């Protein structure tokens, strides 16, 4: 069998000459040199110099079952030989596509029974955005088109995805957001809560949704979207009062509640989906990442009966889809990935064992003079760096601070991510307690270095 390409001596130079990386300052990257990752196994990755790292970020929040799963490779190989591709547009489907939709529906609550497939989370954002507007139009509510999202959210890089996201620096590139999208504050108590208790702050920012609906006019609002826990924005865990209040407001005004489950789906929070952890049922929910643990690109939108019934019975054609919607090979990989999560009890393991263990390990860092807060749910966690605990003052250049600590950790063999001055954990769901200790100890050393 052919081997994967790894042994090309001047790959770095070739990369600098030909490859434009996403989310990268290419001039800086070409000066520092690209790190070439050549192989991976379990929770570890190796670079082209042979150096091993503990990947405490699961690639990009996605390799939930860990690397090197031969059974996924075997299923993919067999599916490629059996049927490498067929579309799902013109009255056709393929066995893995349909069985995957059924399997996903089994894991969601009783009111979610359908899935629309995409290839990524960004495409899933564009998909639900159109679906929400189409839903209201099909019901005769032509004016219900406005969507409320949150500042500092991340919903992808496509035009709708980046517009729904609340990252200003993304909006500045490409004249975003597009019309009809509004952003309210996020529940980031540590940085924005002032003198309020977390509970009062959670209520206050949730009620901004109600204020915005009233300002825009209930008859104009289609949906509200949020990540159960803001991910790329810095793992912003909402106060306990936040989601119940959001749920109440969406129900009161009958607007669609959209939970972006791209990170929080498939076990990360110790539940199959983040909305289950926070005890609500969304009307629509984009998924991706952990759906296939990143083995192949696949995403989708969970569609509740409320929306599906209108799409099926009222709409007629939905003029939307991707050549690779429900790709049979990606679907086969996702089915095997879910089978592994089930067979190995990974959701329960995160809920009952490694999740609480990570929470305790991160909490142990709060005695450090530079740690303002340490939060986590399941295996999604963050440590906030602060220059002064008492006043919650930040370092002058939060981005540089986080990047410097991250680089220290990577040099010491642990891959974490920094968002500004928050250090983020999102390891594969198979991580062992001793490996959590290694990651947290490495972060402590990184913080000591910063002192």
Angle value at C-alpha 211, between 207 and 216, nearest 5 degrees: 145
Cα-Cα-Cα-Cα dihedral sign, residues 434, 437, 443, 445: negative
What does the per-residue mask of binding to ligand PLP show for 6-35, with x meaning CB under 6 A?
------------------------------
Q: Is the peptide bond before 177 cis (omega within 30 degrees of 0)?
A: yes
Residue 262 makes contact with ligand PLP by CB under 6 A? yes
Show the tokens assigned to 400. Answer: 């540089």
Q: Which of residues 290-349 bind ligand PLP (CB under 6 A)?
A: 299
Minimum Å distance from CB 231 to ligand PLP?
5
Contact 234, 270 (CB under 8 A): no
Window of 119-127, 337-345, 346-354, 373-381 that interacts with ligand PLP by CB under 6 A: 119-127
DSSP assigned state of 367: G
Window of 150-158, 242-250, 330-338, 345-353 that interacts with ligand PLP by CB under 6 A: 150-158
Cα-Cα-Cα-Cα dihedral sign, residues 28, 394, 381, 55: positive
Distance, CA of 62 to CA of 288 (rounded, Å): 8
Strand-by-strand arrangement of the 371-377 sheet: 371-377, 380-385, 422-425, 417-419
CA distances for 78 relative to 6, 52, 75, 84, 367, angstroms: 24, 31, 5, 9, 52
Residue 282 sits at φ, ψ, to 5 deg, of: -75, 160
Distance, CA of 421 to CA of 26 (rounded, Å): 22
**Size, binding site for ligand PLP by CB under 6 A:** 15
Minimum Å distance from CB 122 to ligand PLP?
3
Minimum Å distance from CB 205 to ligand PLP?
18
Contact 307, 256 (CB under 8 A): yes
Minimum Å distance from CB 232 to ligand PLP?
5
Number of H-type helices and E-type strands within the chain: 18, 15
**Which residues partner with 148 through β-bridges?**
182, 224
Minimum Å distance from CB 331 to ligand PLP?
16
Window of 152-160, 168-176, 305-313, 350-358 that interacts with ligand PLP by CB under 6 A: 152-160
Residue 260 makes contact with ligand PLP by CB under 6 A? yes
Minimum Å distance from CB 343 to ligand PLP?
26
Residue 121 makes contact with ligand PLP by CB under 6 A? yes
Residue 245 makes contact with ligand PLP by CB under 6 A? no
Window of 71-79, 154-162, 171-179, 309-317 that interacts with ligand PLP by CB under 6 A: 154-162
Angle value at C-alpha 158, between 152 and 160, nearest 5 degrees: 70
Q: Residue with CB nearest ligand PLP?
A: 121
CA distances for 385 relative to 370, 401, 420, 444, angstroms: 5, 8, 9, 11
Window of 31-39, 200-208, 225-233, 273-281 that interacts with ligand PLP by CB under 6 A: 225-233
Nearer to ligand PLP, 61 or 135 (CB): 61
What does the per-residue mask of binding to ligand PLP show for 349-388, with x meaning CB under 6 A?
----------------------------------------
Q: Which of 227, 283, 336, 421 binds ligand PLP (CB under 6 A)?
A: 227
Minimum Å distance from CB 153 to ligand PLP?
8
Residue 122 makes contact with ligand PLP by CB under 6 A? yes
**Which residues partner with 183 through β-bridges?**
149
Residue 238 makes contact with ligand PLP by CB under 6 A? no
Residue 45 sits at φ, ψ, to 5 deg, of: -125, 160
Q: Which of 44, 150, 155, 183 binds ligand PLP (CB under 6 A)?
A: 155
Distance, CA of 413 to CA of 365 (rounded, Å): 19
Nearer to ligand PLP, 122 or 337 (CB): 122
Contact 255, 221 (CB under 8 A): yes
Show the tokens assigned to 313. Answer: 């019975």
Residue 263 makes contact with ligand PLP by CB under 6 A? yes
Window of 13-21, 185-193, 224-232, 308-316 that interacts with ligand PLP by CB under 6 A: 224-232
CA distances for 137 relative to 214, 218, 221, 312, 315, angstroms: 20, 15, 12, 14, 9
Residue 231 makes contact with ligand PLP by CB under 6 A? yes
Q: Which of 156, 187, 265, 274 binds ligand PLP (CB under 6 A)?
A: 156
Nearer to ligand PLP, 229 or 249 (CB): 229
Window of 9-17, 28-36, 153-161, 413-421 that interacts with ligand PLP by CB under 6 A: 153-161
The residues, any chain, with a CB within 8 Å of residue 247's CB and separated by 6 or more, are 257, 280
- What residues make contact with ligand PLP under the rule CB under 6 A? 120-122, 125, 154-156, 227, 231-232, 260, 262-263, 288, 299
């Amino acid at each position: 069998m052919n081997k994967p390409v790894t042994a090309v001596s001047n790959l770095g130079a070739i990369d600098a000459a030909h490859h434009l990386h996403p989310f990268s300052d290419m001039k800086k990257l070409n000066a520092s040199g690209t790190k070439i990752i050549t192989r991976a196994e379990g929770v570890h990755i190796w670079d082209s110099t042979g150096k091993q790292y503990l990947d405490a970020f699961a690639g990009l929040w996605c390799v939930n079952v860990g690397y090197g799963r031969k059974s996924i490779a075997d299923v993919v190989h067999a599916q490629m030989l059996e049927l490498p591709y067929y579309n799902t547009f013109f009255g056709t489907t393929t066995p893995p596509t349909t069985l995957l939709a059924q399997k996903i529906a089994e894991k969601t609550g009783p009111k979610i029974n359908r899935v629309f497939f995409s290839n990524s989370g960004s495409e899933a954002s564009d998909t639900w955005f159109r679906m929400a507007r189409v839903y209201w139009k099909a019901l005769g509510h032509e004016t219900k088109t406005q969507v409320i999202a949150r500042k500092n959210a991340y919903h992808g890089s496509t035009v709708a995805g980046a517009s729904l996201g609340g990252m200003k620096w993304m909006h500045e590139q490409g004249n975003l957001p597009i019309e009809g999208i509004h952003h309210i504050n996020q529940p980031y108590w540590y940085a924005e809560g002032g003198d309020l208790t977390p509970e009062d702050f959670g209520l206050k920012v949730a009620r901004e949704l109600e204020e915005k609906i009233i300002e825009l006019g209930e008859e104009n609002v289609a949906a509200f979207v949020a990540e159960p826990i803001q991910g790329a924005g810095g793992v912003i865990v909402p106060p306990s009062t936040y989601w119940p209040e959001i749920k109440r407001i969406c129900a009161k005004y009958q607007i669609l509640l959209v939970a972006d489950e791209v990170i929080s789906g498939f076990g990360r929070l110790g539940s199959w989906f983040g909305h289950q952890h926070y005890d609500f049922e969304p009307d629509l929910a984009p998924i991706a990442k952990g759906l296939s643990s990143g083995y192949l690109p696949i995403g989708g939108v969970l569609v509740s009966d409320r929306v599906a019934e209108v799409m099926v019975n009222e709409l007629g054609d939905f003029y939307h889809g991707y050549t690779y919607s429900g790709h049979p090979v990606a679907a086969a990989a996702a089915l095997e990935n879910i089978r592994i999560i089930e067979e190995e009890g990974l959701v329960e393991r995160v809920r009952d064992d490694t999740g609480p263990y990570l929470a305790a390990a991160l909490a142990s860092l709060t005695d450090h003079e530079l740690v303002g807060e340490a939060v986590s749910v399941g295996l999604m966690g963050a440590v906030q760096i602060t220059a002064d605990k008492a006043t919650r003052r930040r370092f002058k250049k939060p981005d540089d601070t986080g990047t410097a600590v991250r680089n220290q950790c990577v040099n010491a063999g642990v891959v974490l991510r920094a968002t500004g001055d928050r250090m983020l954990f999102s390891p594969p769901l198979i991580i062992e307690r001793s490996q959590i200790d290694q990651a947290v100890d490495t972060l402590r050393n990184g913080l000591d270095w910063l002192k």
